[in-house]
Amino acid sequence: MNQMREQLDEIAAAAPPSRLSADAVYAAAFRRRHRRVAAWVGGGVVAGALAVSLAAGALGLPPATPMQAPRGDGRIFAVAAADAEHLYAEVGNCGGGCTLDLVGSDDGGRSWTVRTRNLTGDLSAPAPGSLLRMVETGTEGPLPLHVPWVSRDGGRSWAEVRAGGGAVAEVAAGGWLQCASPRGINDPCTLIAVDPVNARSAPLAGPPDLFLDEPVDVPVAGGFWVTGRDRGGQRPAVAVSRDRGRTWSTHVFTATETGDADLDMLRFMGAASTDGVNGYTIMTAADPKGAATAGVQALVFRTGDAGNTWQRVHPTQTLPRRYYIGGDSYVAADGSHVVLGTDDPPDRWYTSSDGGNSYHPASQPGLGAELLQQSNVRVVVAAAGAYLAFDAGALYRSADGLRWTRTVIRLD
Amino acid sequence: MPSGETEEQRQFREYFTARRDAVRRTAYLLCGDWHWADDLAQTAFMRLAVSWRKVRDREALDGYVRTCLVRAYLADVRRVWRRRERSVAEPPDVFGHPGASEGAPRRMAFAAALRRLPPRQRAALVCRYYQDLDVAATAAALGCSQGTVKSQTARGLAKLRELLEADGELTMMEGLR
């Protein structure tokens, strides 16, 4: 195996100068609190790897990013929906250089039309009537900068969201909260309120008093949920607003609640709720039992009052020991908590129908096995009664989050 | 010791100075991008800084940082891929200039093959063959069972061979038979 070692040594030998210094890292460690990891990490990869053309197109659309082989023609790369009828997907188009097209359906997936060619940016449907694309516009140091673009006509036309003006007391009707593009590597999430009707964004005047991690994907009717940490230490927290961001109910998980779990290693937590009342949060913590338990444990908490109080559940430790993040779980229509997990790929589904006390491997009738083979598995909860998933070849819809219907996208 | 500096901070600086480059190199082998490698190394050292008092066994410092590094990498990968499965182009700032030495093309081919491995397989290979960890220590770093380490390592080696065969660089892997 010496050859292997020699090869690895050679690869790592040509290191450029590092920006890291002992004092800066030490200082950052103690002022560190959470930031929106996904944003800069995702962008960090892209920042270092992709050269993105920044020239705006003649139609005012963000420029296209050339796709890399082996993205296939017709392959699905992302789906979005804010209700059960209006569905959207990014699909590969390889007719003369691969790009992404946005296709949409206004009848629950029965018919589809192309809405935007040469799509760029991560797609989502954060509120009914709106589509959002976060488009990378460049980098600042190691961090990517993103600009939101919104569509109010099902993805046929787009407007860049302009930041500006003073802070707003609440999120406008039809709007949502998201993190501002981080400027510093240790910046926590700064909540901005997006008004899609006017294509404007502004800081939220009264965010929860936390170092914020990220908003939780909860259907709009369930209020706004965010995860983070308290400002005094390392305690994880969840905050919920039921009045469009004017006031927040914040719960900081105390040492009594988390017990002997070592939260020093805690970096990831995920929360899930469909109705905004019943929800779960999963934290990954170091396990004091150490190597005998693969070093980590999953702490699960349940709320039945919109995040005001949380009860620790999962005494059985029947969930796989792994890192759980936002999007790893959702709440089915019957209240079951469905979690994606494994300790050896590929992933599989686990469900709890006893309020999070115990989890058991579960099949998801109608959900393709191929879905679990891909690396970006997640279920989008568009609204109560509207669950969505996808793999490379099809989109899957469900009214209860447990039984699924496969839909192949065929353009009209 | 600079004024106002604690003994812990001084000790941390000493350790950081001694180990920064090694940790960065390991991070780079994991992720294949020097910007990201700096981020991962920073994360690992930050965790060490806040846990300095708890890691009483100074012999365990390397293992602690390594565990933080590998797990941060694996978790970051999941976040990145969750948002959308991206096809990442060749990093622009890596591996020096082609032709800079006689071994450059071969090194680049090996690096490209390594980068195409699934993250857990790549992490297993880096732990086993770069960090020289045994199966148990690799399992602890990755947070998985020893059986998983064995299977991931075997799959990683097989995939690496397959990729290098395809690139006509099989000879460099003959030592792995």
Query: DSSP label at A131?
Result: E
Note whether residue A242 is domain-resident.
no
Cα A63–chain centre separation: 24
Rounded average pLDDT over A92-119: 87
Note whether residue A140 is domain-resident.
no
Residues 6 or more apart from A9 whose CB is under 8 A from it? B130
Length of chain A: 412
Q: Does residue B143 sit in the same domain as residue B166?
A: yes
Q: Does residue B4 sit in the same domain as residue B80?
A: yes
What's the N-to-C CA distance of chain B in angstroms? Answer: 52
How many A×B Cβ pairs under 8 Å?
A: 212
Work out the pLDDT band at A323, boundaries 50, 70, 90.
low
Note whether residue B89 is domain-resident.
no
Note whether residue A218 is domain-resident.
no
Residues 6 or more apart from B57 whose CB is under 8 A from it? none
B contact test, residue of A2, A3, A4 with most B CBs within 10 A? A4
Note whether residue B56 is domain-resident.
yes
Q: Does residue B131 sit in the same domain as residue B76?
A: no
Q: Does residue B12 sit in the same domain as residue B66?
A: yes
0.95 exceeded by the pTM? no
Interface predicted TM-score of the whole assembly (ipTM), two decimals: 0.81
The residue among B37, B55, B84 that closes a domain is: B84
Domain that holds residue A324: 249-362
Domain that holds residue B47: 1-84
> Beta strands A395-398 and A380-383: pairing type?
unpaired
- Domain total for chain B? 2
Q: Does residue B75 sit in the same domain as residue B123?
A: no
pLDDT digits (tens, 9 = 90+) for A134-166: 887 765 544 557 789 999 999 999 999 999 889
> Beta strands A176-179 and A348-352: pairing type?
unpaired
pLDDT digits (tens, 9 = 90+) for B148-162: 888 889 988 988 888
The residue among B55, B84, B113 that closes a domain is: B84
Note whether residue A333 is domain-resident.
yes
With an 8 Å Cβ cutoff, are B89 and A77 in contact? no
> Beta strands A162-163 and A159-160: pairing type?
unpaired
Residues 6 or more apart from A245 whose CB is under 8 A from it? A169, A170, A171, A177, A191, A193, A204, A206, A207, A224
Question: Which residues of chain A have a CB within 8 Å of the CB of B9?
Answer: 23, 26
Q: Does residue B3 sit in the same domain as residue B58?
A: yes
A232 in contact with B at a CB cutoff of 8 Å?
A: no
**Percent of all residues in chain A with a pLDDT value above 70, rounded to a whole number:** 78
C-alpha A285/C-alpha A32 separation (Å) is: 18
Token pair of A53, please? Answer: 């053309």
Note whether residue A278 is domain-resident.
yes
Note whether residue A305 is domain-resident.
yes
Note whether residue A16 is domain-resident.
no
- Domain total for chain A? 1
Note whether residue B16 is domain-resident.
yes
Note whether residue B20 is domain-resident.
yes
Q: Does residue B2 sit in the same domain as residue B60?
A: yes
Note whether residue A204 is domain-resident.
no
Cα A363–chain centre separation: 24
- CATH number for the domain harbouring residue A281: 2.40.10.500
Greatest alpha-carbon pair distance for chain A in Å reads 63
- CATH number for the domain harbouring residue B27: 1.10.1740
A55 in contact with B at a CB cutoff of 8 Å?
A: no
CB contact at 8 A, A167 and A190: no
B127 in contact with A at a CB cutoff of 8 Å?
A: no
